[in-house]
Amino acid sequence: MKQAVLGFIAIVAGLFLSVARADVLVLVHGYLGSAQSWDASGITAELERHGWQRAGLFITGPAGTRLMPSPGNTGDQKYYTVDLPSAAPVLIQAFHLRQILQSIGTLHANESISIAGHSAGGVVARVALVRGDIKNIKSLITIASPHLGTGRAEQALDATDIPFPLSMVTDFFGGATYDTVMRSRSLFVDLVRQRPGSLLYWLNTQPHPDIEYFSVVRGQPAIISGDYIVPGYSQDMNNVPVLQGRSSLIRVNNSNHGLNMLDGSVIASVLAGMI
């Protein structure tokens, strides 16, 4: 296992004039995120600063998946963003992502594909990969992903596990946040801390493709404890039994769970072979 400890200055320094090792990058957002999350955080701007071109946006919906291409889809280094139903169960999101990856594999048959997934998006990407039928995948980068689950998912389930008739009161007075959490219960079930019978327990015993893995782990200096959503040990794919020793560990001095521009520098570094 390769390990890197990165601070803001260390990540930004030395990235110029690098040559990327991947041809196509797919950015997979997390829970309550969207393709816009990568733009709003400054990550896509950072990638473009290092020579990556926007290739298009894949949108999922009741009618299936459709591509909105961008002019950069013929560049040497290109990236796609995706819009997945982020509150849906992991298997549903992974189904859509597999279709997207298969489409990209057809569009760029002779090019390697790397995936960067944030939070639950990293788990969705792993499920899509272990279910097979995807060609040309070279690497998976996960950022603050709950590979072994998170107690926050259990707290959300407990907060909405209200018996009838009290549930009628909360349904009426709960507000938008409560409604969102209620719609997300199936996803939270998938992201509880792994135990026999859970989706993560199944996923973490499945054979994974022979590709490069990179775990971006959030935390404070000296003690990398994770962030307020996902503990550090759960963010590290080396703690997944079938991936032990196979993931490069990238520790980042950041206790926030959301995406930020620094993540763009990390992704650019990984794809340039600097980590």
Say what the pLDDT of residue 162 is: 55
pLDDT in tens, 35-64: 999 999 999 999 999 999 999 999 998 888
Residue ranges and CATH numbers for the domains of the chain are: 3-148+194-271 (3.40.50.1820), 151-190 (no CATH)
Q: Which of 170, 243, 181 is nearest to 212 (CA)?
A: 243
Say what the pLDDT of residue 133 is: 82
Which residues, in sequence order, are CB contacts of 108 under 8 Å at separation 6+?
23, 24, 136
Say what the pLDDT of residue 15 is: 36
- Residue 70 DSSP class: -
199 vs 92: CA distance, rounded Å: 13
pLDDT in tens, 206-251: 999 999 999 999 986 555 578 989 999 999 999 999 999 999 999 9
Backbone angles phi, psi at 5, to 5 degrees: -110, 120
- Record the tokens describing residue 167, joined without a space: 């549930």
Q: Which of 53, 106, 48, 108 is nearest to 79 (CA)?
A: 53
Q: Are 136 and 112 a contacting pair, CB within 8 Å?
A: yes
pLDDT averaged over 10-residue windows placed end to end, the chain, 275 residues: 51 37 88 97 97 96 90 87 97 96 94 97 98 91 98 91 45 60 93 97 97 92 74 96 96 92 96 86
Can you give the pTM of this predicted structure?
A: 0.88
Q: What are the start-end ranges of the H helices in the chain?
A: 8-12, 36-40, 43-49, 90-107, 120-130, 151-159, 166-173, 175-183, 185-190, 199-203, 232-235, 261-271
At 57, the amino acid letter reads L
